[in-house]
Amino acid sequence: MTITADVIVIGGGMAGVSAAAELSSEARVVLLEMESSVGYHASGRTAAIFIRNYGNETLRALNSIAEDFFLNPEGVSESSLLSPRGQLMFAHEAELDKLNTYLEGAEGMETLTAREAGDLVPILKTDLIVKAAYEKNARDIDVDRMLQGYLKLLKSRKGSVFTDKKVIEITFKDGVWNVHAGTEHYQAKVIVNAAGAWVDDLAKLANVATVGANPLRRSAAILPKPEVSGFEEWPLFVSASESFYAKPEAGTLMVSPADEDPVEPHDAWVDDMALAEGLHRFEQATTIEVNRLEHSWAGLRTFVEDRTPVVGFAPDAEGFFWLAGQGGYGIQTAPALSKIATELILNREPLLDNTILNALKPDRFGE
Ligand SMILES: Cc1cc2nc3c(=O)[nH]c(=O)nc-3n(C[C@H](O)[C@H](O)[C@H](O)COP(=O)(O)OP(=O)(O)OC[C@H]3O[C@@H](n4cnc5c(N)ncnc54)[C@H](O)[C@@H]3O)c2cc1C
């Protein structure tokens, strides 16, 4: 059987689902996901945080656009997808430059002394801290409500979602893409490559130049609830060199070694050594001794070289659209990137100025 649409989105993570939902306001959209449910890979394995100042200048601009949507997620949810958390970044002597660099161009951050940092997170060894900074407006994201809300929006607009459909063949003939997934064939003039860690594999299938997407593994562990009163109110706390970060998570403490090991695209699992080393760094910076883990997991954060997402039509293939390289920011930037993708695909008036659109363009990798 052949199913036709205006746009085929490949990948049912936050990127693909949000873009498919936005596109379906005007286009007939089919979304293909190889797993049995959406959000199985990176999008289901996050720290669920929105940090306004996270990432380079382009990302900070995207975060800012996305923030309005998170607070008023019209069509996706009836109330804000964010809830208070805060982010505390602290520097030991050797990390001072890193903290100062982070603060350049940052908005809404206040500088704190070591004592003030300790008031926020009492388990920190404050005698090691030389400077800290606090972003009060960093907030938790309700990732599941967000993903399900976009999915519901897509379906209400007559978009079709097919799971258990791994794309295995992509060809282009007479201005139309033919996509073979499972036992079915799908056709559309535009395909969106939102395959997360697999974006370059997908490009190769379609005979399109790759963008150098690198999946980097990041692990996380859940520790038992610390016996410290008020712990649920702690902000996310992170060392300025990102040697680890931690945050309260549904009555437990999530700690990530902030590892970035290059791997092939796969169903990621924790590297025990990376986790043990990260937990050791956490122990050195805090008064907590880690004796037991409740649970651990890993996910892939996929970056291109300049650590900026890749959004736009491929320069070498008509109708092949990249929505890739969201790295560690793919949830918090999804509302902005899905709108940008929709504007470009449907040829609408752009929301952003050219500087940002150019920074996202796939042709920046050309010779
Ligand atoms: C530990 C960790 C913490 C993180 N914390 C945050 C955070 O707090 N805030 C934030 O904004 N971001 C965070 N991120 C980053 C965020 O998770 C990613 O940027 C985002 O999920 C990427 O979304 P995606 O849709 O591109 O990828 P994915 O969610 O991986 O989706 C890609 C989908 O494509 C499908 N696919 C691949 N190949 C095919 C094929 N051939 N056929 C059909 N389907 C295919 C896959 O099955 C997958 O479901 C974190 C990531 C990790 C690992």
pLDDT tens for each residue of the chain, 367 residues long: 899 999 999 999 999 999 999 999 999 999 999 999 999 999 999 999 999 999 999 999 999 999 999 999 999 999 999 999 999 999 999 999 999 999 999 999 999 999 999 999 999 999 999 999 999 999 999 999 999 999 999 999 999 999 999 999 999 999 999 999 989 999 999 999 999 999 999 999 999 999 999 999 999 999 998 989 999 999 999 999 999 999 999 999 999 999 999 999 999 999 999 999 999 999 999 999 999 999 999 999 999 999 999 999 999 999 999 999 999 999 999 999 999 999 999 999 887 788 999 999 999 986 5
Say what the pTM is. Answer: 0.97
- Cβ neighbourhood burial of 190 (10 Å; 0-12, 13-18, 19+): buried
Q: Which of 17, 22, 33 to mutate to test the pocket of ligand 1 (most atoms within 8 A of CB)?
A: 33
Q: Measured in whole angstroms, how far is the alpha carbon of residue 88 from the centre of its chain?
A: 20
CA 309 – ligand 1 centroid, Å: 13
Domain(s) labelled CATH 3.30.9.10 in the chain stretch across: 87-136+214-302
Partner residues linked to 246 by β-bridges: 237, 255
Q: What is the CATH number of domain 2-51+143-213+305-365?
A: 3.50.50.60
3-state secondary structure 237-303: EEECCCCCEEEEECCEEEEECCCCEECCCCCCCCCHHHHHHHHHHHHHHECCCCCCCCEEEEEEEEE
Beta strands in 136-276 (DSSP E): 139-141, 160-162, 167-173, 176-181, 184-188, 190-193, 214-223, 236-239, 245-249, 252-256, 261-262
Domain(s) labelled CATH 3.50.50.60 in the chain stretch across: 2-51+143-213+305-365
Q: How far apart are CA 283 and CA 264, in angstroms?
A: 30
Q: Which of 46, 52, 204, 211 to mutate to test the pocket of ligand 1 (most atoms within 8 A of CB)?
A: 46
Q: How far apart are CA 190 and CA 55, in angstroms?
A: 30
Q: Which of 150, 249, 301, 332 to mutate to test the pocket of ligand 1 (most atoms within 8 A of CB)?
A: 301
Residue owning the nearest CA to atom 33 of ligand 1: 11
Q: Pick from 231, 234, 233, 238: which is nearest to 255 by CA?
A: 238
Sheet with 29-32, edge to edge strand ranges: 160-162, 29-32, 7-10, 190-193, 320-324, 310-313
Q: What is the CATH number of domain 87-136+214-302?
A: 3.30.9.10
